């Protein structure tokens, strides 16, 4: 037990050192690194390789600067608000699944079907154990998955506006559709995603507005209040801006080693159980 605990502490310290000053401290009592590996994340503009670390309470991912040595743009997702949904294979996009949370949802793809099964099984096991231990209920409302820019040559709302350098693509934060500026010139407060009103398409704005009127009439204005959990989630990254922060091209291009695929490493859930007993 002591040896496993020390090995776990070393692994977490290594993850922290790879993110350096760009990441947050990850070593907290009871936290165990369950697995790690590279997955392809569907970003707004194109699929990109990202390094993922699965802990027993959080999922962490970041951009690969130098493979196995340096990562940046760290993202931390609390597992208690995660829901996974398997995706059917579609052409070149194979072995994928959705990672859905209240504030952000996206697709990832593994190199093989076996790796997909391993990742999904380990993540789901961690979620189940975490919810059972905390007594919390699974989050029911999740953010929409953004439609990739490449899948929309014209606005998905008016079906007319063609996207150009001047006519930029925008994303509705409620349904994830790619829409033009005039068809998304309204903003609405989505508390699970941000403390600021976010861009939504005209369809979603009308639907949300009607729902708010009904809630107000019933004396239950839930859309206008921001929960403590939502404030904590939005944190310093709270923004109503257009860019997906994970989709920015780094000034220093990622030096990704594409020569050989490394299989993900999973360290065994027995270590999680032992760590939690201490």
pLDDT tens for the chain, residues 1 to 278: 455 788 999 999 999 999 988 889 998 999 999 999 999 999 888 889 999 999 999 999 999 988 778 999 999 999 988 999 999 998 888 999 999 998 889 999 999 999 999 999 999 999 999 999 888 888 778 888 898 888 889 999 999 999 988 888 999 989 989 999 999 999 999 888 888 999 999 999 999 998 888 888 876 655 444 444 444 444 433 333 444 555 554 444 444 444 457 888 998 655 555 555 54
- The predicted pLDDT at position 141 comes to 80
Distance of CA 79 to the CA centre of its chain: 10
DSSP category for residue 179? E
Return the pLDDT at 154.
92
State residue 252's pLDDT score: 43
pLDDT tens-digit map of 199-217: 999 999 999 998 888 888 8
Give the model's pLDDT for residue 94. 92
SS3 assignment, position 106: strand
Which residues, other chains included, contact 133 with Cβ-Cβ below 8 Å and sequence gap of 6+?
A: 276
C-alpha pair distances (Å), 277 with each of 8, 55, 273: 14, 16, 6
CA atoms within 13 A on the CB side of 107: 22
Residue that the structure tokens 């905390």 belong to: 134
Domains and CATH numbers, the chain: 1-142 (2.30.29.30), 149-215 (3.30.40.10)
Task: Give the residue from 182, 198, 15 showing the smallest Cα distance to 104.
Answer: 198
pLDDT at 148: 84
The secondary element (H helix, E strand) that includes residue 11 is helix 2-19
User: Could you read off the pLDDT of 116-128 as tens digits, one per residue?
Assistant: 999 999 999 999 9
| pLDDT of amino acid 96 | 95
């Amino acid at each position: 037990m002591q040896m496993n605990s020390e090995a776990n502490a070393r692994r977490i310290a290594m993850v922290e050192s790879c993110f350096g000053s760009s990441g947050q401290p990850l070593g907290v009592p009871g936290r165990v690194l369950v697995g790690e590996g590279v997955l392809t994340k569907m970003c707004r503009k194109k699929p990109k390789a990202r390094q993922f670390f699965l802990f027993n309470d959080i999922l962490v991912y970041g951009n690969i600067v130098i493979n196995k040595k340096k990562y940046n743009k760290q993202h931390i997702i609390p597992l208690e608000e995660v829901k996974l949904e398997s995706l059917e294979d579609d052409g070149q996009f194979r072995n994928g699944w959705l990672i859905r949370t209240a504030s952000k949802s996206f697709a990832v793809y593994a190199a093989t079907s076996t790796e997909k099964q391993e990742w999904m099984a380990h993540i789901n096991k961690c979620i189940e154990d975490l919810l059972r231990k905390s007594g919390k209920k699974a989050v029911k409302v999740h953010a929409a998955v953004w439609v990739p820019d490449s899948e929309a040559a014209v606005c998905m709302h008016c079906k007319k506006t063609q996207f150009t350098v001047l006519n930029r693509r925008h994303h509705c934060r409620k349904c994830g559709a790619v829409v033009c500026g005039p068809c998304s010139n309204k903003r609405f407060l989505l508390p699970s995603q941000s403390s600021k009103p976010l861009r939504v398409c005209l369809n979603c704005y009308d639907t949300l507005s009607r729902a708010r009127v009904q809630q107000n009439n019933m004396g239950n204005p839930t859309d206008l209040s921001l929960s403590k959990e939502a404030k904590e989630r939005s944190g310093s990254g709270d923004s109503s801006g257009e860019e997906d922060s994970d989709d920015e091209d780094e000034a220093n291009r990622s030096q990704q080693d594409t020569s050989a695929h490394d299989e993900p490493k999973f360290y065994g859930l027995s270590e999680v159980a032992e760590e939690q007993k201490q």
